[in-house]
Amino acid sequence: LTSRQIKANALEESKTNPNINGKFYIEGYLTDNVASIQAYVTPKDGKKQQVTNAAKRKDENTFYAFVPLKNGENTVIFKAYDAKGDWLGNKKLKLTFNAQAPNITMNGLDNKGNLPVSADGKVTVAGKVTDTPGDTVKLKLKYQKAADNTTSANVVAGSGATHTTASSSQAVSGANTTSKASINANVKQAEAAAAGKETEEVVTVGKDGSFKTVITPAAKAVTVTLVATDSAENSTTMGLALAGRATATPEAPQTKDFVLTNAGSMGSYAWLVHKKAYGSDVIGKNYFVAQGEVGANVTSVLFTPATRIDAKTKKFVTPNPLRANIKNGKFSVKLPMHPGINDFRLQVNT
């Protein structure tokens, strides 16, 4: 257990269990002599309250707690007791809950809410980003950048020489002489290749949250994107259209091929399983029945436990894959579990 910042979307969401919904989930390990625990939380400038949904798991040296947090600093204290009810010790955590994501406001937009593009192709991106007082906000700008004609990308084919646009009218001396038309063609080709790649730039934010930067997007660029992130990694994304540019063709909505619905997502195909949230039909001492949804094109879902070393033979053993049962767009599979981290190779076949 470590003190840390908690981002806004780290709280539990449950439409059916109010004891879990809107709470922050904590779990940990206990020594053998601990028979029970109690947990308390005190928000800064607030009153101490007992965490009602906190307990030691039966037949395990682990515990869980669903802790209500207020915006700002929260002090959480866990108290451990032995089988006689005698107090053994405390563990204190400082959890800073950051409930507010950054807010971006823009200056200089036209009457349609677009960014004006000047005659020379430059665009001024200016505005203000705000968040909880005292919080640190980082701002990034993503866009398709116009090619730099003085870069080494503008190499004349067949000559091995590098030219800028200004010198493209001069013939290259030697046997590999290249025409002006060829040079210009290569310059345009290099520009097109560079313009197809999105660049990401850090934008300086003033003490008052104001920012201003001037960029030159590629001729075919139609939007720019601002991403503001605070110290708890709450983020806000704002997409802005470039005035006078063709509207980007909206991408067709993507359907998810695989969604695990009865575990808390931690991102990057990592999930947190809450023992208290389900009955024995879903979770037990050494198993968890993973449940979720799959797309119509999914033919099978396989979970293969991680390769391990056999205690007797000292050789690597790769367990057989566990195939999920799929019916009417939903899947379920019983997975072996132990307290702590459980690794599986997930394979979704279409």
Give the total residue count for the chain.
350
What residue ranges do the domains of the chain occupy?
4-98, 103-241, 258-349
d(CA 102, CA 131): 5
Q: Which amino acid does the sequence have at 20?
A: I
Are residues 141 and 203 in contact, defined by beta-carbon separation less than 8 angstroms? yes
Among residues 249, 201, 212, 229, the alpha carbon closest in space to that of 115 is found at 212
pLDDT at 42: 95
User: What is the number of other CB atoms lying within 10 angstroms of the CB of residue 177?
Assistant: 12
Among residues 171, 168, 175, the alpha carbon closest in space to that of 154 is found at 168
Give the 3-state secondary structure of residue 301: strand
Pairing verdict, β 4-7 and 87-98: parallel
Q: Which class is domain 4-98?
A: mainly beta
Long-range CB contacts for residues 191-197, cutoff 8 Å, separation at least 24: 191/146, 191/147, 191/149, 191/218, 192/147, 193/147, 193/153, 194/145, 194/146, 194/147, 194/148, 194/151, 194/153, 194/218, 195/144, 195/145, 195/146, 195/147, 195/219, 195/220, 195/221, 196/144, 197/144, 197/145
Q: How many Cα atoms within 13 Å fall on the side-chain side of residue 73?
A: 9
156 burial via Cβ count (<10 Å: 0-12, 13-18, 19+): buried
**3-state SS record for 252-277:** CCCCCCEEECCCEECCCCCEECCHHH
Q: Which two tokens stand for residue 64?
A: 């869980």
Distance between first and last Cα of the chain: 40
pLDDT at 151: 37
- Percent of the chain, pLDDT > 70? 76
User: What is the number of other CB atoms lying within 10 angstroms of the CB of residue 254?
Assistant: 7
Give the C-alpha distances (Å, rounded to integers) separating 7 from 12, 59, 251, 266, 271.
12, 33, 29, 12, 17
Give the C-alpha distances (Å, rounded to integers) separating 43 from 47, 58, 89, 90, 235.
7, 30, 22, 18, 24
pTM for the model: 0.53
pLDDT at 258: 80
| Range 103-241 classified under CATH 3.30.2320 | no
Q: How many Cα atoms within 13 Å fall on the side-chain side of residue 193?
A: 12
Torsion of CA 176, 177, 180, 181, to 10 degrees: -60
Residues of the chain with pLDDT under 70: 1-3, 15, 148-196, 246-256, 265-270, 273-279, 309-311
